[in-house]
Amino acid sequence: MKIIALSTFFISFITLSIAQQYSLPSLRFEYSAYEPHIDAQTMEIHLTKHHQAYINNLNKAISGTKLESFSLNQLLLNAGMRSDAVRNNAGGHYNHSLFWQILAPENKQGSMSAELKSALEQEFKSLDSLKSKLGAAAAKHFGSGWAWLIVTPDKKLKVTSTSNQDNPIMDVTKERGIPILGVDVWEHAYYLKYQNKRGDYLNSIWKLIDWQMVSTNYITALNDPLLKEIADDTWPEIKEFHKVMSQTFHPAEKDDLLPLQARSGEMLAKAILLKESVIPVNYQKPELKAAMLKLVKDCDELDKLVKKNAKKIVLKTKIIQAHDTFHVIQGLCKD
């Protein structure tokens, strides 16, 4: 029997940005509905004890801090800057919510969309090949963790794995993207029924994957602004330039030229690093290269003007020009 439409919950809870307390989602089906592949007791303990503990600990970790107003995605994106408590428990909440969402009993599953089927075949040749890759990623994982099927920033499908409760949204992981399918490889996910036979659990889990839900996740991920945030996050040079531009331009707008006068050389150096950086695949286009060259030229002229003690109005005009050029670059990085 269906209990609630967890997908609706899942989409809404990851986009919340108001102060919040996280809460436990309900399963889509009764605990026993996943048998014989996952037993009812495992499902109940997994949800009401393990997942609930991640939620309790996450709420405790963010309580009374500015993180209360952050979305779950924001907590995950910058996991490297967070405490272990926030990183582990935000990951635990996100990962399990996705896991519950993509599981369904064999007779309750929808079929895979044509779009996902085509993308899978392009990347992995066949569904069996994907299963084998994802199963291998899970099986060879040392200790606790997750195996994933993700959409990468260049909109390809990829199989990855992470340790503990990390996931591919996090800046602490090497292979990043939005997960559309996740397999829990913690012992608590299978030990009661399978004991040490992790391979048997991994073979059985495929019988519970609801490919219609994974297909929905695929389309959602392709259009999710989060994918661009992850792409930008994997291009540190643009973040670094953006930082120095913000910290000099905004005071200059208020006629405070001191930050610019102190940092024009740094801004030029970061513009050069940006021009020489590896541009993410989905942003590569000739106009972007041209705009980055123009940015270096603007910053070079600005630095020379600073060194010549040019008048404030001249410096302000020039930094507005460099800022406009950077805006062109940002515009070209939109899909």
Both structure tokens of 291: 């705009």
Which residue number places its CB atom closest to Fe ion?
Answer: 184
- Hey, which residues between 187 and 226 contact Fe ion (CB under 5 A)? 189
**Nearer to Fe ion (CB atom), residue 17 or residue 26:** 26
Q: Which of 166, 184, 232, 233 binds Fe ion (CB under 5 A)?
A: 184
Question: Residue type for 262, please?
Answer: A
As beta bridge partners, residue 110 has none
Q: Provide the minimum distance between the beta carbon of 106 and Fe ion in the complex, in angstroms, as a whole number.
A: 22
Phi, psi (rounded to 5 degrees) for 303: -65, -40
**Nearer to Fe ion (CB atom), residue 24 or residue 320:** 24
C-beta pairs of 171-174 under 8 Å, 24+ apart in sequence? 171/77, 171/78, 171/79, 171/80, 171/81, 171/233, 172/79, 172/80, 172/87
Contact region for Fe ion (CB under 5 A) — 143-151, 181-189, 190-198, 299-307? 181-189
Q: Provide the minimum distance between the beta carbon of 201 and Fe ion in the complex, in angstroms, as a whole number.
A: 12
Q: Provide the minimum distance between the beta carbon of 163 and Fe ion in the complex, in angstroms, as a whole number.
A: 13
Number of residues counted as binding Fe ion (CB under 5 A): 3
Kind plus residue range of the DSSP H or E element containing 290 = helix 286-307
Both structure tokens of 135: 């199963």
Q: Which of 34, 100, 186, 190 binds Fe ion (CB under 5 A)?
A: 186
User: What Å distances lie between residue 333 and 156, 177, 228, 235, 325, CA to CA?
Assistant: 18, 17, 9, 11, 13
**Nearer to Fe ion (CB atom), residue 28 or residue 263:** 28
Q: Provide the minimum distance between the beta carbon of 185 and Fe ion in the complex, in angstroms, as a whole number.
A: 9
**Nearer to Fe ion (CB atom), residue 102 or residue 252:** 102
Q: Provide the minimum distance between the beta carbon of 88 and Fe ion in the complex, in angstroms, as a whole number.
A: 12
Site of tokens 């303990």: 45
**Nearer to Fe ion (CB atom), residue 49 or residue 60:** 49
Q: Provide the minimum distance between the beta carbon of 146 and Fe ion in the complex, in angstroms, as a whole number.
A: 9
Q: Provide the minimum distance between the beta carbon of 321 and Fe ion in the complex, in angstroms, as a whole number.
A: 53
Q: Decide if residue 31 touches Fe ion (CB under 5 A).
A: no
**Nearer to Fe ion (CB atom), residue 184 or residue 224:** 184
Q: Degrees (nearest 5) of the Cα angle 170, 173, 178?
A: 55
Question: Residue type for 176, please?
Answer: R
Task: Kindly tell me the burial class for residue 267, based on how many C-beta atoms sit within 10 Å of its own C-beta (0-12, 13-18, 19 or more).
Answer: buried
**Nearer to Fe ion (CB atom), residue 96 or residue 318:** 96
Distance between CA atoms of residues 85 and 164, nearest Å: 12
Both structure tokens of 130: 């994907």
Residues in contact with Fe ion by CB under 5 A are 184, 186, 189
